[in-house]
Chains A and B, each alone.
Chain A
Amino acid sequence: MFALVNLSYLTAAVFFILGIKGMTKPKTAVRGNQLSAIGMLIAVTAALLHHDIIGFTTIIAGILLGSSIGALLAKRTAMTSMPELVASLNGVGGGASLAVAGSTWLTAIAANSVVTGVWSAAILASIVIGAITLSGSVVAVLKLKGTIGDSKRARQWQLITAASLVGILACASMMFGEGQLSSLVLLAIVGLCLLLGVGLVQPIGGADMPVVVALLNAYSGLAGAATGFVLENQGLIITGSLVGASGLILTAVMCKAMNRSLPNVLFGGAFGPQADTQSKSNDSEFYDGKVKYATPDDLALLLDGARSVVMVPGYGLAVAQAQHAVKELANQLEARGAKVSYAIHPVAGRMPGHMNVLLAEAEIPYDQLKDMDTINPELPQADVAIVLGANDVVNPAAAEDPNSPIFGMPILDVHKAKTVVNVKRSLSPGFAGIPNSLFIRDNSLMVKGDAKEVLQATTSAIKEL
Chain B
Amino acid sequence: MEMLVLSFTIFILALFVGVELINKVPPTLHTPLMSGTNAISGIVIVGAIVSAGTNHLSPTVASVLGFIAVTLASINIVAGFMVTDRMLNMFKQKG
Contacts and interface: CB of A to CB of B under 8 A. Distances in A.
Interface in A340-355: 344, 346, 351-354
A40 to B, nearest CB: 6
A357 B11 contact: no
A457 interface: no
Given A67-B78, A346-B27, A86 B35 contact: yes
A73 B75 contact: yes
Contacts of B67: 58, 61-62
Contacts of B83: 73-74, 77, 82, 85
B71 to A, nearest CB: 4
B21 A53 contact: no
Contact of B79 (A73, A79, A360): A73
A52 B54 contact: yes
Contacts of A236: 43-44, 46-47
Contacts of A213: 34
Interface string A60-84: 0111011101110111010100100
A377 interface: no
Given A236-B46, A237-B7, A354 B54 contact: no
Contacts of B38: 86, 89-90, 93, 217, 220
A329 interface: no
A85 B79 contact: yes
Nearest to A85: B83
A118 B66 contact: no
B95 to A, nearest CB: 5
A10 to B, nearest CB: 10
Contacts of A247: 34, 37
Interface in A45-65: 46-48, 50, 52-56, 58-59, 61-63, 65
A29 B88 contact: yes
Interface residues of A, number: 118
Nearest to B1: A118
B36 to A, nearest CB: 6
Contacts of B51: 99-100, 103-104, 107
Interface string A91-133: 0110111011011101100100000001000000000000000
Contacts of B35: 82, 85-86, 89
Interface string A234-251: 111111111111111110
Contact of A58 (B31, B63, B84): B63
A27 B95 contact: yes
A50 B33 CA distance: 31
B74 to A, nearest CB: 3
Interface string B55-90: 100011111011111111111111111111111111
B43 A353 contact: no
Given A40-B81, A246-B18, A344-B27, A59 B95 contact: no
Given A30-B85, A73-B79, A243-B37, A357 B43 contact: no
Contacts of A63: 70-71, 74
Interface stretch (A139-147, A162-170, A223-231, A378-386): A223-231
Contacts of B95: 26-27, 365-367
Given A33-B84, A63-B70, A74-B83, A16 B40 contact: yes
A442 interface: no
A410 B88 CA distance: 28
B92 A70 contact: no
Interface string B6-23: 110011101111110111
Point out which of B12, B18, B21, B60 has the most chain A C-beta atoms below 10 A from its C-beta: B18
A224 to B, nearest CB: 5
B34 A227 contact: no
B70 to A, nearest CB: 3
Nearest to B84: A33
Given A40-B40, A74-B78, A232-B3, A53 B46 contact: no
5 contacts: A25-B26, A36-B40, A73-B75, A232-B7, A234-B6
Q: Which 5 A-B pairs have the closest CB atoms?
A: A66-B74, A245-B18, A70-B78, A62-B70, A353-B30
Interface of B: 1, 3-4, 6-7, 10-12, 14-19, 21-55, 59-63, 65-95
Interface of A: 9, 12-13, 16-17, 19-21, 23-27, 29-30, 32-34, 36-37, 39-40, 43-44, 46-48, 50, 52-56, 58-59, 61-63, 65-67, 69-71, 73-75, 77, 79, 82, 85-86, 89-90, 92-93, 95-97, 99-100, 102-104, 106-107, 110, 118, 183, 213-214, 217, 220-221, 223-225, 227-250, 253, 344, 346, 351-354, 356-357, 360-361, 363, 365-367, 369, 371
Given A82-B87, A242-B37, A244-B18, 5 more contacts: A25-B26, A50-B50, A62-B70, A232-B7, A241-B14
